[in-house]
Amino acid sequence: MSVKSEPVSVVIPPEPNKPTGLKLFLKKCGQQKALLAMSLPFVLWLVVFKYVPLWGWTMAFQDFKPAKSFSEQEWVGFEHFSFLFSDEAFLRVLRNTLAMSAINLVLGFVTAIILALLLNELRHIGFKKIVQTISYMPHFLSWVVAASIISYTLSLENGIINIALVKLGFEPILWLGIGEYFWGILGTSEVWKNLGWNTIIYLAAITMIDQEQYEAAEIDGASRLQRMLLITLPALKPTIVILLIMNLGHILEAGFEAQYLLGNPMNIEYSEVLEIFVLKYGISMGNFSLATAAGIFKTVVSFIFLFTANSIAKKLGQARLF
């Protein structure tokens, strides 16, 4: 006689509702109270000093007069932008800014990568630290001091460069008096001042490379140059791409202090940049609307370069910011 067993029904308790959307966000905020408290001052700083001042952009579309209230200002539309793009001085300044930014970008990247690769190959730790310290030191000099050193070095009478030229049988050169030389002088000065500092992030990235790769390459007979070109340099590629994207976002920020301190009436055609233009023709002359229009133009162009570089990196499958 067979006994049929009846199926046993198992009751599965319902899963508690998982928080989603706003509830999930609030839950995570509650779990990270300490981090939120630490980041709050920086968020407030960002809002107060970066976003609230954007209200001032309205001046670019007004014939702004400081004595009048906002409702009393005269709106002129894109008149100031039209003036900028038709002004020969602004176009010349824009040329100088782009040229100096490109020179600083290329020289800064190439020299910093080369120095980082060479420092990584040094085996004597003491000598390596000495080289690093010497290369870092100029970065901590203010541009006032650095410009004085550069001016004295290039001096017509006592400058070491002209003294060497005279010793070699050449005529001394008034370096800062010839406008065509200014871009090269500035690019060289930027390299001298920031080379060591720019190598820090590359040296940090090199330390993350698996040392077994070098050992395997050495066993296979690869020379030090081959290991540098086939292991170290490709490993730095993501870091290089990210830094390139970030620097392209500042393509219209060629600097201010160096150009202002090294510039003079003889090289002004090549030394004047956007920041000096804004100070000279905008703020100093009380034309705040023109200065604001120039600042908006610089910001928009920087955004275009930033997003374009990021999109290209994304399509090529490289590291990107967002």
Structure confidence by residue, pLDDT tens digits, 95-122: 999 999 999 999 999 999 999 999 888 8
pLDDT at 93: 92
Report whether 273 contacts 279 (CB < 8 A). no
CA torsion sign, 18 to 21 to 23 to 25? positive
Domain ranges of the chain: 99-315
Strand partners, 75: 62
Taking 90 as the threshold, does the pLDDT of residue 35 lie above it?
no
The rounded distance, in Å, linking the Cα atoms of 234 and 231 is: 6
The rounded distance, in Å, linking the Cα atoms of 196 and 189 is: 13
Taking 60 as the threshold, does the pLDDT of residue 6 lie above it?
no
Question: Is it true that domain 99-315 has CATH number 1.10.150.530?
Answer: no
Alpha helices in the chain (DSSP H): 22-31, 33-46, 79-86, 88-121, 125-136, 143-153, 160-167, 182-198, 200-207, 211-219, 224-227, 233-235, 237-248, 257-262, 268-271, 274-277, 288-315
The rounded distance, in Å, linking the Cα atoms of 76 and 78 is: 6
Task: Kindly report whether the global pTM for this prediction surpasses the value 0.95.
Answer: no
Taking 70 as the threshold, does the pLDDT of residue 15 lie above it?
no
How far from 299 is each of 16, 57, 251, 293, 306, CA to CA, in Å? Answer: 49, 11, 10, 10, 10
